[in-house]
Amino acid sequence: MNGFGGKEACKGKSRKRKDKQGVEPEGEDKNYFRWNIAMERELADILREERSLGHKGDGGWKAVAYNTAANILAAQFNLQISADNIRNRVKSWKKFYGVVSDILSQSGFSWDSTKKMISVDEDHVWEEYVKSHDDARGFRFKVIENWDDIVDLCGKDRATGEGAETGADATEVMTPTNEVDHVDLDGDTQDLEDIHVIDDISPTSTNGQKRRNCASNSSDILPTKKRGDVKDVIADSIARMALSFEEFIHADTKNLDPAEVYAEVQAVPGLSENEQLKACAWLIENDKQFHMLKALPIEKKKKFHVICNSFIQTEHKETQEFTHHFWPDGNDQFRESADLYARVMAEIDHAVTRMVFENYGVEKYHDDHFQSTSHTLRFLTYKEPKKFEVDVGLRSHTDKNFSTVLHQNHVNGLEINTKNDEWVVFDPLPSSVIFIAGDGFQVWSNDRIRACRHRVILRENEARYSSELLSVNKGMIQVPDEFVDKEHPLRYKPLNHLEFLRAHKDVGETEYAAQAYCAI
């Protein structure tokens, strides 16, 4: 997925790593970029040159090296790219280096220089290794085209300790120190400044989500002084993220014949003329969905209408109201971006839940499940912690909804509890999202999928922004028969999800609340 472009929107305010905070659109294609191999190779060449000029010291690359690289890449690839983008890329390389070289130092692993990936002698050796090296999991089939450059530019550091980010350091970036485990997030110290909700962006609307400081009907959500800054930052971030995701999702779209798409859409019962046109536009961008539609028998196409409607609906009433609250004179750019953002987040939710259903061999339930899914988009702002504040954020909890797709700015804070009861910091690339299974997922899966315990602890001196798409089942969540047998007796009564959420809307951060509510 894309990285962020780098032009400031927070004018006149000096912020650390501000480039990630905002981009003022200038030219359509200049502002958003994704690292590709040509850029990576060019970056490596520039850094080698910078190294020969002595712009790499004991503490790592000097600022001049990052600035030079940013300037050259910007000109060469016609991009907005900042020194921080470069710094982050190098940080990722160091992480890759740390993790991969640790793997390669073990017997049973080698580097396949043709495939540019790790080669594993036997699967069980890999399974053994990742049991104790969680951060290695994603590297089994990861193609690292520029591994030689990474070794050249980051490997030396490791050998000499110079500016090093070793495997251990890299893990440390992702794994909090032990003291974190003893942090007691007292309710009084919670400092979640604002949560802004665009509620119920699903085609058919039902209000069942909990709200914390819901923005849509309150006029004193933000301190007046900061209101402009925060909303602008959010607006800019949403615009960038929406485009970035959309571009990613549709990156490998094959060209479809519009006439064929139109003919297929016409065969879907229940679409108005307007919806047909929007569906055509959407399907042309989504070839996989198109092939799925084509494969459906006619009676199933009716259901497709609902699914496709949840994606093609572009003007949500809720987004309009939300936009109006912050910009009484309107802000079309924000409204459109928020709609697009919600839509692509919903596509991610759709794709991931489908994969899970398929993985468990129960994909036949997925269409029904998604039809009764309602989405809520929420923006969260965490104030920069004050000097004397230490443990601010959100205490450990599981989400009561079905699933959450979460995206954040560059300020870390989200921590995930692993199976071994360790807290791991979510340290994403700018374009990564995290998919969190909630209580609803756990109930549906009869405990095969555990709801994910997570918390937020702010440790950086910057405001943190996150946005999350929450999915809720508007009907009953029922364990599929396939999940019940002798070894797995039925654990839950059917759960009326909205009733459950209503019953818990005033309860703070709780863990596994559904278990207490509907366990047998």
Ligand X SMILES: O=C(O)CCC(=O)C(=O)O
Task: Pick the piece of the chain touching Fe ion (CB under 5 A) from 397-405, 410-418, 485-493, 500-508.
Answer: 397-405
Least distance in Å: CB of 393 to ligand X?
8
Q: How many whole angstroms separate alpha carbon 10 and alpha carbon 494?
A: 49
Name which of 229 and 399 has its Cβ closer to Fe ion.
399
Query: 510 to each of 207, 271, 452, 506, how far by Cα in Å?
Result: 21, 42, 12, 11
Q: What are phi and psi of 109, to 5 degrees?
A: -125, 145
Least distance in Å: CB of 414 to ligand X?
4
Least distance in Å: CB of 209 to ligand X?
10
- Residue ranges in contact with ligand X by CB under 6 A: 380, 394, 399, 406, 408, 414, 454, 456, 466, 468
Q: At what angle do helices 37-52 and 63-77 cross, to 10 degrees?
A: 140
The listed partner (Fe ion, ligand X, none) that binds 406, CB under 5 to 8 Å by sort, is ligand X
Per CB under 5 A, 415 contacts Fe ion: no
* Cβ pair 500, 517 in contact under 8 A: yes
Helices (H), 177-296: 224-249, 258-266, 273-285, 287-295
Q: Which long-range contacts (CB under 8 A, 24 or more apart) does 322-327 make?
A: 322/196, 322/197, 322/198, 322/215, 322/216, 325/215, 325/216, 325/217, 326/215, 326/227, 326/231, 327/231
The listed partner (ligand X, Fe ion, none) that binds 445, CB under 5 to 8 Å by sort, is none
Least distance in Å: CB of 444 to ligand X?
19
H or E element that contains 335:
helix 332-359
The listed partner (Fe ion, ligand X, none) that binds 456, CB under 5 to 8 Å by sort, is ligand X
Name which of 282 and 444 has its Cβ closer to Fe ion.
444
Least distance in Å: CB of 466 to ligand X?
4
Task: Pick the piece of the chain touching Fe ion (CB under 5 A) from 254-262, 294-302, 398-406, 420-428.
Answer: 398-406
Least distance in Å: CB of 250 to ligand X?
26
Residue number closest to ligand X, CB atom: 466
Task: Pick the piece of the chain touching Fe ion (CB under 5 A) from 27-35, 209-217, 228-236, 391-399.
Answer: 391-399
The listed partner (ligand X, Fe ion, none) that binds 408, CB under 5 to 8 Å by sort, is ligand X
Name which of 399 and 415 has its Cβ closer to Fe ion.
399
Query: 281 to each of 261, 278, 286, 326, how far by Cα in Å?
Result: 9, 5, 9, 30
Per CB under 5 A, 399 contacts Fe ion: yes
- Bridge partners for 435 per DSSP: 405
The listed partner (ligand X, Fe ion, none) that binds 392, CB under 5 to 8 Å by sort, is none
Q: Which amino acid is at 113?
A: S
Least distance in Å: CB of 199 to Fe ion?
17
Query: 126 to each of 94, 96, 140, 170, 181, how far by Cα in Å?
Result: 22, 17, 8, 20, 29
Q: Contact positions toward Fe ion, by CB under 5 A?
A: 399
